[in-house]
Chains A and B, each alone.
Chain A
Amino acid sequence: MTDQIIRRIWPIAPISLALALITLLMIVVGANPLTVYQALFDGSFGGREQSLSTLAFWVPLLLCSTGLLVTFTAGLWNIGVEGQMIAGSLGASAVALMVAKPNPSIPGWVILPLAIVVAMLSGALWAALAAILKTRGRIHEIFGGVALNNLAAIATIYLISGPWQPPEGGSLRGTVPFPTQALFPLMGTSRFSPLSLILALVALVLVALALRGTFWGLKLKAQGKNLRSAFLLGVPSEREAINAMMVCGALAGLAGAVRVLSWFDSLRQSISGGIGFLAILVVLLAGTRPLWTLLIGLFFSALLNGGTFVHSRVQLHSSLSGLIQGTLVLFVLLLGDYTRIFRRKKTVMEAISDHE
């Protein structure tokens, strides 16, 4: 009984340890931790504007996490999610710049869905590349993903500084602003689009249901648990792996579209903002529990948003939010399971009574 309770409240221990370490690091760089924590809160939920911008970070994070639920279930380490997101923003930007801009008469209800579809296709194709490199080229998806992430980032810089350069030229900041009909409908003056949140929630529910209750989900699970037996039992593992990657890529691509068509109104350098990588951390913590994906995702978005505010208020490096997120995840991953830390060799009698 007490054992049960300890097990329940145990995760507080690694979280407190992580917070202690983070506080210490703040002191090391000469900041006042209280001021920083206050600024983090003010920047994330301190007002209507801040809360909406936290939600705006939440949407792409949710979309990427949802996609990663699929690949993690299939036993794939899709680190390429970051690049798939970038590919999605490139696709959406292409529609905005090459279709919407020269044809201002096309209405938004045509352009926006088109941009979304193209973004999802681009993300899926970028993911398929990593998947084929894995199945045909025998390159582990981690390495294929890393290379493709960097290539996607390089492609972005090339486009911004080359073909899609604004007419005044010179600046490496981004393309010209997209026409409004290509953008997501935004809430007030914020950069948050309720429509995009609805899309993300629908995607999460659909994926969670599909993984739980369909034959496809079962096949992915079998493959993730034991690739060889799944293959011997007739699950076409290559095709399933490619499919899983493409589903994730499509959702990451949608996240990329949300970034360019609502958070920004143009294609920028480092368009992903590390959200793809952050989604991997979310899923590592949440596992396949969708409710936790939502909550942890919201918390991490708040940190991400608060971090930029801390940067402007107390001039602390914006890597602070990444530092907090990473430390929390590391400590919970390592020390979160009470039984694994205090595992000792069982005596013979205990082993027998366990068996009964």
Chain B
Amino acid sequence: MNDAQIIKIMASIIAQSAPLMLAVTGETITERGGVINLSLDGTMLLSAMTGFVVALQSSLMLQGMGIEGNTLPVLFGFMAAALVGMFAALLVAWGSIKLRQDQVAIGFVLTLLLANMANFLGQNYTSIPGPSVKYMPIPLLKDLPIVGPIFFNHNLAIYLTLLVVGVVWWWTYKTQPGLQLRGVGDRPESAFARGIKVNRLRYIYTAIGGALVGIGGATYSLSIKIGWSDNHILGIGWIALAIVIFGGWHPIRGAFGAILYGATKALATELQKTFPEVPVVLFNSLQWFLMLGVLLLAGSKGLQQLVDVAPKPIQRSLARSLRVAAPQALGKVFTED
């Protein structure tokens, strides 16, 4: 394998992990606020289907009106997908905050229901071509050695994903509202005592997180695995939920987790080429072993030991960046009276 091939694979890993990155970032925000939206697997399927179908239908409609081009239809697709994701997330939040029902139960029922709904409503749209996000290399930047082809030779959805991860990190850790977000998820009582409307913030961040999850789903159907088919991306939502834990509820680490997943996928593809005699299905199992592996790592003392053997000066910063701690009030309902 030569350098050009390696760079090409790395570029494809970045592209392939983008939708997962969006979902992980979205769920990270939601859980940071204290709400668990377990419905990701169903939500992503439904939003992938919705995004594709809305883009397809609106492109047909616009063509009828004499407007060519895919930019608007794709935008409509993403907007519809964001609404789907937001709606599903708000259902979970409303069911738990207002109706005092189990978040996990609602999330799980939604997981099954929305997946079925996606297959049911998408049944007339399977395996047909449709619009997709336009390939858009960034001039000048794409000519940089190594970095250029890996990061700046994609479509707009990929760049925006990377931007979103950065913005969410900055918002969560560097701004006043971000501090409130973390407060609401960690110590709702203290936040409330300081005059923060805990449940209102939880609704808001659950909705934003859900919208990102929905956009992630549509990024699959409009940019990575274009189109719709039965159970198009089944399982990816669960991977996203696991990566949120592995990422220690931190957007940047979550993004790395997504890239790790993309790399595993790419590795599986390469191994498949190298060992054609091994049955293909066995390579599919790699992602699930990876999921168990990263969760074991997140739950074990291994990371702490890694900190202990590290050289003294970097121990503190290493410990901080490796710390895996769930928001303390995650999944707990807060009553404001």
Contact = CB atoms under 8 A, between A and B. Distances in A.
Contacts of B75: none
Task: Among A25, A30, A151, A341, find the residue whose CB has the most chain B CB atoms closer than 10 A.
Answer: A151
B112 A277 contact: yes
Task: Among A79, A146, A340, find the residue whose CB has the most chain B CB atoms closer than 10 A.
Answer: A146
Interface stretch (B131-139, B284-292, B315-323): B284-292
Nearest to B291: A147
* Interface size classification for chain B: 35 or more
Contact of B99 (A150, A157, A316, A341): A341
A203 interface: no
Interface string B131-154: 000000000000000000000000
Given A142-B104, A143-B238, A143-B291, A137 B300 contact: yes
Interface string A42-78: 0000000000000000000000000000000000010
A154 B99 contact: no
A98 interface: no
A79 B108 contact: yes
B301 to A, nearest CB: 10
A28 B101 CA distance: 30
B105 interface: yes
Interface stretch (B113-121, B178-186, B218-226): B113-121
A38 B296 CA distance: 50
Given A137-B295, A146-B238, A334-B106, A322 B282 contact: no
Interface stretch (A3-11, A258-266, A323-331): A323-331
A183 interface: no
B123 A161 contact: no
A112 interface: no
A194 B116 CA distance: 31
A87 interface: no
B110 interface: yes
A284 B95 CA distance: 15
A245 to B, nearest CB: 16
A217 B166 CA distance: 50
Interface string A141-180: 0111011001100100110011000000000000000000
Nearest to B122: A317
Given A323-B113, A345-B337, A154 B238 contact: no
A139 B296 contact: yes
Interface of B: 38, 91, 95, 99-101, 104-106, 108-110, 112-117, 119-121, 123-124, 235, 238, 241-242, 245, 279, 281-282, 284-285, 288-289, 291-292, 295-296, 299-300, 337
19 contacts: A25-B121, A29-B120, A139-B292, A139-B296, A139-B299, A143-B238, A143-B241, A143-B245, A154-B284, A158-B282, A281-B112, A322-B113, A323-B116, A326-B112, A326-B116, A326-B117, A330-B106, A337-B99, A341-B99
Given A281-B112, A316-B123, A333-B109, 18 more contacts: A25-B117, A25-B120, A133-B292, A138-B296, A138-B299, A142-B38, A146-B238, A162-B279, A277-B112, A284-B108, A319-B117, A319-B120, A326-B112, A326-B117, A330-B110, A334-B95, A334-B101, A340-B100
